Amino acid sequence: MQSNNHPLSEEGHTTRNIDPCILVIFGATGDLTSRKLAPALYNLGKDGLLPPNFACVGFARREKTHEEFRQDVKKDISTFSRIKPIDEGFWQNFHEQIFYHQSEFDDDAGYVRLASFLKQLDSQFATRANRVFYLSVQPKYFPMIIEKLKKHGMIYDPHDHTKWSRVIIEKPFGHDLASAAALQAQISENLDESQTYRIDHYLGKETVQNLLVFRFANSIFESLWNYKHIDHVQITVAEEIGIGSRGNFFEEEGLLRDIVQNHMMQLLSHVAMEPPVNLSASGIRDEKVKVLQSVRPLTEADFKEWVVRGQYGPGFINGQSAAGYRQEKDVHKDSPIETFLAMRLFIDNWRWAGVPFYLRGGKRLPKRGTEIAIIFKDAPGVLFQQREHPNLPNVLAMRIQPDEGIAMRINCKVPGPSSPIQPVKMDFRYGSYFGQTPPEAYERLIWECILGDSTLFARSDEVSESWSILTPVLEYWAAHPPKHFPNYPCGSWGPKEADEMIAKDGRSWRIL
């Protein structure tokens, strides 16, 4: 059964029916399961959002007993859960729903045993043969695992209304446009689009979900949301951390593939989309695709002037020395991989005609923060513009992380006879206003998949359109290797070329 209520609809959580099911996590001994998935399941259970009839099976190649895996999960929850300390009373019941299955990903015998084991759990927990398969593995394994699941009867006919099967696929989905199309073709042989849930954890963040409510439920903002009133838009994804132990991964992906193609394109499409015809998954995703289709194609001149790439060198973060990218583990000493990107895009439609969108993302920047900033046009300077102290433009900033919230900068008179004008900030924070920490993104996304609502997941044409925009950048970079890497130190806001790029338009980057 699929839920008919959208996650942003007025009915909210309480009226949405959730079917019993078994969640199988492939790659269950990996870092993602430890840091995100295991805590997410525990938190969902604590909040009463898992189905009463539920079981979780970890699938991985290492030898483990059920009890060893449960103890690993408990340790992960104790370390990474937002709900602390662990509730021992709840855990005593919850851990009995957690199991482990050892197999290689390509071993047919392992899938035969898995199918048999899941049927046993169906009888034990009354889960009605409903399945969610979470592929927390390298993308190269996606087609093979899906083919094995289909071969051994664990992916059902999408038109079978007596039971359902769904597959959550982690990013990256493809390496460029051609590889994404090839991967989609392979997956489509065994999996229907309605059963495919391409996860981007940014879509599970409260502020991203609130973007549509903020825009379309508040006429004061939607009426200003166009080229007549907005000067430009800045989208920033900044991280203090480097690549850690992900050297091999990052050497293959780089920042454009790891952050820009998915996270930043999702933020772009949410902030720029038109009102959907309804709150269905297809209605919202149709409008997101239209935004991506309207992005002006980048030319060679754009690659030279309006796309800046960077790589961090040695520097300091919070007063502590930090190694450069080329000194990180598993990174080539002459690596050309980018850890920073800044670019300017235009959306060629009526709403956004002539409004530049500036995207900036990077590793080893001074602080962690993801923000969408809407910078409004200056008010006419007839009355209050002072040459020596010009008023700052109004800014609406939506903080995705950390400190999720929305802030607005307005100009205000300072008390006193001299009447100087000073910018002030109105600030709304989810945590302080609602008195609780927002749920982690993975909690929301796992819950939505169990409900059968694909609104917060990427559709295949979204992925293709995003790659269509960015693959030419990758091709240009491949033909023109960087000659000046590293070009910014750890703890800075990126290469000076990024500041020079936006300064050509008479603008500057916001300080987070």
pLDDT in tens, 155-188: 999 999 899 999 999 887 889 999 999 999 999 9
3-state secondary structure of 358: strand
In a domain, 55, yes or no: yes
- Angstrom distance (rounded) from CA 325 to CA 117: 45
Distance (Å, whole) CA 308 – CA 326: 19
284 touches 276 (CB < 8 A):
yes
Are 321 and 257 in the same domain? yes
- Give mean pLDDT, residues 56-74: 96
Domain of 276 in residue numbering reads as 203-381+460-503
174 phi-psi bin (left φ>0, alpha ψ -120 to 50, beta other):
left
Among 47-56, 323-332, 372-381, 478-487, the least confident range: 372-381
Listed in order, strand segments (DSSP E) in 170-313 are 196-198, 230-238, 307-310, 312-313
21-26 and 131-135: which strand pairing? parallel
Active site residue 263: yes
- Structure-model confidence comparison of residues 252 and 360, the more confident one: 360
174, 234: one domain:
no
In sequence order, which residues have a C-beta less than 8 Å from that of residue 148 and are 6 or more positions away?
105, 106, 108, 111
DSSP 8-68: TSTT-STT-----EEEEEETTTSHHIIIIIHHHHHHHHHTT-S-SSEEEEEEESS---HHH
Q: What is the reported pLDDT for 379?
A: 76
Number of domains present in the structure of the chain: 2
Cα–Cα distance between 301 and 454 in angstroms, integer? 38
Q: Please indicate, yes or no, whether residues 50 and 83 belong to a single structural domain of this protein.
A: yes
Q: Is the pLDDT of residue 483 over 80?
A: yes
What pLDDT score does 6 carry? 52
Q: Looking at the structure, tell me whether residues 160 and 250 fall in a common domain.
A: no
Q: In the predicted model, what is the mean pLDDT of residues 287-295?
A: 96
What pLDDT, on the 0 to 100 scale, is given for residue 266? Answer: 92
pLDDT for the residue 171: 81
Do residue 165 and residue 253 come from a single domain? Answer: no
Helix and strand totals (H; E) in the chain: 17, 18
8-state DSSP, 511: P
Residues 180 and 264 in one domain: no
> What per-residue confidence (pLDDT) applies to 1?
42
> Would you say residue 3 lies in a domain?
no
Cα–Cα distance, 467 to 484 (Å, whole number)? 26
For residues 38 and 209, the model is more confident at 38
Q: Which of 198, 213, 237 is the last residue of a domain?
A: 198
Q: What is the value of pTM for the model shown? A: 0.89
- By the 8 A CB rule, do 494 and 365 touch? yes
Sheet strands side by side (includes 340-346): 307-310, 340-346, 356-362, 230-238, 369-376, 395-401, 405-413, 421-429
Residue 392 domain flag: no
Going along 348-404, which residue ranges are E strands?
356-362, 369-376, 395-401
CATH number at residue 225: 3.30.360.10
Query: What's the whole-number mean pLDDT along residues 376-404?
Result: 76
Instruction: Please state which of the ranges 99-103, 189-193, 211-215, 366-370 shows the lowest mean pLDDT.
Output: 211-215
Residue 57 has pLDDT above 50, yes or no: yes
The position carrying tokens 């949410």 is 270
Is 113 in the same domain as 255?
A: no
Q: What is the percentage of the chain residues whose pLDDT exceeds 90?
A: 72
Domain final residue, candidates 198, 222, 240: 198
pLDDT in tens, 225-242: 999 999 999 999 999 999
- Given this model, what pLDDT does residue 84 score? 86
pLDDT the model gives residue 467: 96
Question: What is the overall mean pLDDT for the chain?
Answer: 90
**170/234 same-domain check:** no
Q: Residue 13 has what pLDDT?
A: 45
Nearest in space to 207 (alpha carbons), one of 137, 258, 267: 267
Same domain for 125 and 225? Answer: no
Of 379 and 384, the one with more pLDDT: 379
Expressed in angstroms, the distance from the first to the final Cα of the chain is: 44
Residue where a domain stops, chosen among 198, 223, 239 = 198
Assess if residue 280 is contained within a domain: yes
Pick from 79-93, 251-265, 425-439: least confident: 425-439
Residue type, 193: E
Instruction: Choose between 256 and 403: higher pLDDT.
Output: 256
On whether residue 33 sits in a domain, the answer given is yes
Per-residue pLDDT, 8: 53
Tens-place pLDDT, residues 270-288: 999 999 988 888 899 999 9
Are 464 and 177 in contact by the 8 Å Cβ rule? The answer is: yes
Is 151 a residue whose pLDDT tops 90? yes
Do the domain assignments include residue 250?
yes
Q: Is residue 232 part of a domain?
A: yes
Beta-carbon-side half-sphere exposure of residue 207 (alpha carbons within 13 Å): 24
CATH of residue 104's domain is 3.40.50.720
What pLDDT is recorded for position 390?
61
Note whether 210 and 170 are same-domain residues.
no
Cis-peptide into 158, omega within 30 deg: no
Reported as a single tens digit per residue, the pLDDT across 325-357 is 999 999 999 999 999 999 999 999 999 999 999
- The one catalytic residue among 232, 263, 389, 480: 263
User: Among 67, 4, 7, which Cα is nearest to 443's?
Assistant: 7
Upstream peptide bond of 481 is cis (omega within 30 degrees of 0): no
Gap between the Cα atoms of 239 and 497, Å rounded:
19
Specify whether 225 is located in the same domain as 347. Answer: yes
The pLDDT, as a whole number, for residue 67 is: 96
Q: Could you tell me the pLDDT band of residue 204, with boundaries at 50, 70 and 90?
A: confident
Is residue 447 assigned to a domain? Answer: no
Confidence bin at 3 (pLDDT 50/70/90):
very low
CA distance 47 to 41: 10
Residues 265 and 359 in one domain: yes
